[in-house]
Amino acid sequence: MSKKPVILSGIQPSGNLCIANYMGAIKNWVSFQNDYDSIFLIVDLHSISTMQKPSELRQRSLSFAAQYIACGIDPDKSIIAIQSHIKEHVELAWVLSSITYLGELNRMTQFKDKSKKQGSNINSALYTYPILMAADILLYQANLVPVGQDQKQHLELTRDLAVRFNNQFSETFTLPEPYIPKIGSRIMSLQKPDNKMSKSDENLNNIITLLDDPNIVIKKIKRAVTDSKSGIKYDVSRPGLANLLTLFSLSSNQSIEKIESQYSESMYSVFKKDLADSINEMLRPIQKEYKLLMNDKSYIKSILENGAKRASLRAYKTIDKVYRKIGLLKR
């Protein structure tokens, strides 16, 4: 087995993969995969904590796998797998739920936000979801978990659970560290720049998806909310513009300062046109590769089958150890 440190991350197959997921997470996965033993999951069991149409979920899981590869995740270097194909995720989640306090779950801000959206009859999966996420991470003894800012609290819970289990039953789990990028960890909505950009947003004008047509990208950026002040300058009190500058910097690999100095005297219209071009340049090779991949679904399925096989071997090792430590009789 490889001696490289392990990284693990995942995305729920809900909504449309968007540039926020790319900039906050996937882009970093791609650069880490050479130096780490990498596992990237499509966490389908997480996604059923909100209502999904079965036929769409099935199609989306495959499409997300193709998008991971199109973004640069190399199946020869990294494991790409569907969470539900590895049964140990659910098994470990159950064990971890026995050492998770209700108070800890009550504190989760994402649960508070999402349950507001569900209104009445909030399902319990939405509540216990962070335990499943902890299981995803601890199952593979991950050292590093590259995610956006919104997952930080879930990572803290994961660490607390690992420490608690290790103290109670002896050293078992590696303590994972979050990796949250300095720029791009919280991309904001285009129309409501005080809210984060979310792939499940029903208003598609708030997000740019990885598969958006170039003309759609131009339109969405044109309509993006800014302010009436003049000058293109990064300023947190101008959240719309600050977000667009972040998008420009990440899509063009230039510093925000450089972009500010280039556009300081420009009109919004010029700045926005160039920003849309820069995003389209970033998306072009991804979309091209995605189209090719989706013409060969059996190839993607074979990658996922292989990924599940490799992941299962490792997951079994951990769950076997965990079951023994907590006193379950050997099967």
Residues in touch with ligand TYM (CB under 6 A): 8-12, 20-21, 24-25, 43, 46, 133, 136-137, 145, 147-148, 150-151, 154, 185-187, 196-198
Residue nearest to ligand TYM (CB): 24
Please state the closest distance from residue 125 (CB atom) to ligand TYM, in A: 12
147 vs 300, beta carbon nearer ligand TYM: 147
Backbone angles phi, psi at 259, to 5 degrees: -65, -40
**3-state SS assignment for residue 11:** strand
> Is-contact 139 104, C-beta < 8 A?
no
Residue 305 to residues 38, 298, 311, Cα–Cα distance (Å): 16, 10, 10
129 vs 328, beta carbon nearer ligand TYM: 129
Please state the closest distance from residue 19 (CB atom) to ligand TYM, in A: 9
> How many C-beta atoms lie closer than 10 Å to residue 206's C-beta?
21
Q: What DSSP element (H or E) covers 7?
A: strand 6-11
200 vs 262, beta carbon nearer ligand TYM: 200
Catalytic residue list contains 182: no
CA distance 157 to 93: 13
Please state the closest distance from residue 48 (CB atom) to ligand TYM, in A: 12
> Is-contact 146 179, C-beta < 8 A?
yes
Catalytic residue list contains 317: no
82 vs 197, beta carbon nearer ligand TYM: 197
The residue annotated as part of the active site, out of 3, 117, 196, 222, is: 196
**3-state SS assignment for residue 182:** coil
The residue annotated as part of the active site, out of 27, 77, 87, 114, is: 114
Please state the closest distance from residue 46 (CB atom) to ligand TYM, in A: 5
- For 7, counting Cβ atoms within 10 Å of its Cβ (0-12 exposed, 13-18 middle, 19+ buried), the class is buried
Please state the closest distance from residue 35 (CB atom) to ligand TYM, in A: 18
- Give the relative orientation of helices 109-118 and 124-139 as an angle to the nearest 10 degrees: 140
Please state the closest distance from residue 206 (CB atom) to ligand TYM, in A: 10
> How many C-beta atoms lie closer than 10 Å to residue 198's C-beta?
18
CA distance 132 to 129: 5
The residue annotated as part of the active site, out of 53, 112, 116, 199, is: 199
Q: Would you report the helix, strand and coil content of the chain in percent, each value rounded to 5?
A: 60, 10, 35
State the sign of the Cα–Cα–Cα–Cα dihedral 201, 43, 246, 158: positive
Q: Who's near 211: CB < 8 A, 6+ residues apart?
A: 16, 17, 67, 287, 290
Catalytic residue list contains 309: no
128 vs 151, beta carbon nearer ligand TYM: 151
113 vs 265, beta carbon nearer ligand TYM: 113
**Amino acid found at 263:** Y
Give me the active site residues, please.
114, 196, 199
